[in-house]
Structure 1
Amino acid sequence: MRKADRHVLIKELVNNHTIRTQEELLHLLEKQGVTATQATISRDIRDLKIVKSPDVTGQARFELFQENQAQQEETENQRLIQMIQDVVTKVDRVQFMIIVNTISDNAQLLSATLDEVPMTGRVCSLAGFDTVIIICRTEDDAEKIEDYFKKHAG
């Protein structure tokens, strides 16, 4: 079973069963026909941000960590700002598109980070080797995003 499929199954099991230990999780996975090692399950728990929290009886059980949405958006925004400061070399705008030049081999990483941050007016971003094109709905939206990039690019 692929990692992504296993992660989906683990999330489903954690949401639908009371699981208190990794061994219980391994047992439930085996019932579903999935064989995995203790080390693999440990990594999966970390990757999925599964935490132990007390249930109504006070006993600890696994559950998916639910980060505050505003806090998560702020973290993503800070990561984007840091990325802009670290890799952006030039920002230009042509009508409703923004052209962002980066240091070599960083455009795709910047584009992926950009996609995680909600931005009004942004339709999508396309990345090459050292260039990201951001397509916006209107010229006004593009101007606002251009200003954002220029402000943080220094």
Structure 2
Amino acid sequence: MTTKVQRQSVIVRIVGEQEVTSQPELIELLGAQGIEATQATVSRDLDDIGAVKVRVASGNTVYAIPQFEPDRFAPLDQLRRVMGEWVAEVALSGNIVVLRTPPGCAHVVASALDRSRIEGMIGTVAGDDTLMCVADQPDGSVLADKLRQLAGMN
């Protein structure tokens, strides 16, 4: 059985590689990869990963995953949900807080953090399963504690 994180990772990859115009089409593409999902599940997944519909050169509207939208504010409850579901570890080194996620999920957490405009954080840098959060103070322990709390680790 495929986990939510695995399914959402596949959705991010599919949407990034091809033009997906509808949820039923996405359900078929997931099915072709052995992942069964309902329309309601796919709808929630698209919302969780921040997918939006954009018009492309062909005139179609397709799903896209924005890399960074500074004007799209992430509400605190959405940030808690993302952090609680995908952050497995929080570590601190000076003013850098390192978060570990499942493979393919670091960018989703980083985007939610960037959009949340958490006090004490300058920004993030995300890889595949690791992201760094830069604190605005030389000692990032306050930020690390705040991120642990958001992830349900305190």
TM-score by length of 2: 0.50
Q: Name whichever structure is richer in helix by fraction.
A: 1
Please identify the structure whose Cα radius of gyration is greater. 1
TM-score by length of 1: 0.50
Structure with the larger RCO, 1 or 2 (CA within 8 Å, 6+ apart): 2
